[in-house]
């Protein structure tokens, strides 16, 4: 799993577009000109700003919209490269905390204060987890606020008002916890403040109903913080074990996640992103809906564009390695470098950042 939105934001200035010397086309804003790697899409003669401008679909496109188009080309290139590099199956585990049958006859008597779970992530690198939903088993009707804290912050990193209307219901959360935020690892606490609520959780004491499952690479335990009544994080010394059930059954998925790895080692992706951007520009010409002064649809230029993309065959006198094959080579090189990083090997005179444990 990779968080494309976070990666696109972090890598937005990695590869850019040079401002053309032609004053009629000098409309690239400073954001799209930025290139921390020194690679520019416009270094390829078929990826000139003039060509992009004249071959996009709208003849009267504004400067703002044209720069949005350039931004979209960069975003698409980033996501395409990352998805090609990390194309393997990334799912590790998914489980409900409670899987066994329970008898909804008796209800719990909970202490006043916070009740819920403590979640600890192991030292495994490049792992994220998602709390996709919560199943709720309560008697009565009413509302409470579900809170998720990380011990790095006093305020909750997620919250949601839960309204109980039946004895069993499902609420979608889709709360993703990965290592791209400042709150990664440490301990997580999820639950609610029990204080004069009009709903009460059912007991899970029938047969094996109270057996709690731990997802791979996570350790989950029931906890309480007596008399804690605020939405700010409590004193960790006040955390105690909880023998009662809170009525919350979390659905947790665990994934391999390389978002932070990509962000902290972004330079090894720069050349591939540049090539993918050039390919995107050439494909724009080929699929252009309107004729223009550069005549991109002419047979001669079309042939040149195809050679640039596909390269020449073995029978050709002049051997040209097409951009598509160059991209495949860069993807392979990135995977090789990632393998070295995983093994702790680094090229001479190169600096790579490891992902947090």
> pLDDT-based confidence at 339, cuts 50/70/90?
confident
pLDDT in tens, 273-294: 999 999 988 888 777 644 544 5
User: For residue 237, what is the DSSP state?
Assistant: G
Phi/psi of residue 345, nearest 5 degrees: -95, 140
**Integer Cα distance of 134 and 120 in angstroms:** 18
Here the tokens at position 114 are 């916070």
pTM: predicted TM-score of the whole model, two decimal places: 0.71
Place of tokens 């596909």: 310
Q: What percent of the chain has pLDDT over 70?
A: 87
Who has greater pLDDT, 38 or 355? 38
Place of tokens 């709150």: 183
**Integer Cα distance of 108 and 248 in angstroms:** 13
Phi/psi of residue 113, nearest 5 degrees: 125, -160
pLDDT for res 232: 96
Who has greater pLDDT, 43 or 345? 43
The three-point CA angle 23-25-30 to 5° equals 95
CB-side exposure of 181: number of CA atoms within 13 Å?
16
Phi/psi of residue 92, nearest 5 degrees: -110, -50
pLDDT for res 312: 63
CB-based burial of residue 339 (10 Å sphere; 0-12 exposed, 13-18 middle, 19+ buried)?
exposed
Lowest-confidence segment of 126-130, 149-153, 212-216, 313-317 by average pLDDT: 313-317
Asked if the model's pLDDT at residue 48 lies above 50, the reply is yes
């Amino acid at each position: 799993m990779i968080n494309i939105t976070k990666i696109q934001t972090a890598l937005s200035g990695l590869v850019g577009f040079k401002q053309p010397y032609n004053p009629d086309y000098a409309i690239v804003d400073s954001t799209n000109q930025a290139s921390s790697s020194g690679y520019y899409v416009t270094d390829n003669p078929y990826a000139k700003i003039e060509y992009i401008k004249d071959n996009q679909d709208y003849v009267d496109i504004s400067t703002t919209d044209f720069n949005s188009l350039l931004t979209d080309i960069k975003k698409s290139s980033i996501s395409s490269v990352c998805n090609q590099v990390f194309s393997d199956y990334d799912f590790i585990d998914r489980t409900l905390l409670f899987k066994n049958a329970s008898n909804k006859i008796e209800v719990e008597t909970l202490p006043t204060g916070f009740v819920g779970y403590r979640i600890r992530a192991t030292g495994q690198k490049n792992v994220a987890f998602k709390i996709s939903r919560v199943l709720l088993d309560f008697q009565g009707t009413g509302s409470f606020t579900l809170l998720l804290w990380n011990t790095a912050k006093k305020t909750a990193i997620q919250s949601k008002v839960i309204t109980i209307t039946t004895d069993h219901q499902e609420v979608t959360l889709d709360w993703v916890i990965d290592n791209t935020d400042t709150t990664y690892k440490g301990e997580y606490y999820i639950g609610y403040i029990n204080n004069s609520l009009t709903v009460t959780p059912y007991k899970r004491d029938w047969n094996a109903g109270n057996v709690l499952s731990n997802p791979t690479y996570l350790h989950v335990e029931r906890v309480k913080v007596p008399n804690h009544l605020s939405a700010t994080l409590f004193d960790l010394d006040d955390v105690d074990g909880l023998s009662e059930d809170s009525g919350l059954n979390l659905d947790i998925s665990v994934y391999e996640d390389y978002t932070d790895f990509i962000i902290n080692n972004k330079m090894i992706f720069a050349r591939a992103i540049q090539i993918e951007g050039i390919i995107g520009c050439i494909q724009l010409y080929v699929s252009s809906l309107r004729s223009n002064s550069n005549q991109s649809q002419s047979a001669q230029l079309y042939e040149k564009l195809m050679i640039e993309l596909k390269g020449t065959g073995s029978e050709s006198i002049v051997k040209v390695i097409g951009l598509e094959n160059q991209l495949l080579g860069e993807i392979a090189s990135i995977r090789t470098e990632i393998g070295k990083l995983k093994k702790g090997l680094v090229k001479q005179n190169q600096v790579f950042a490891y992902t947090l444990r």
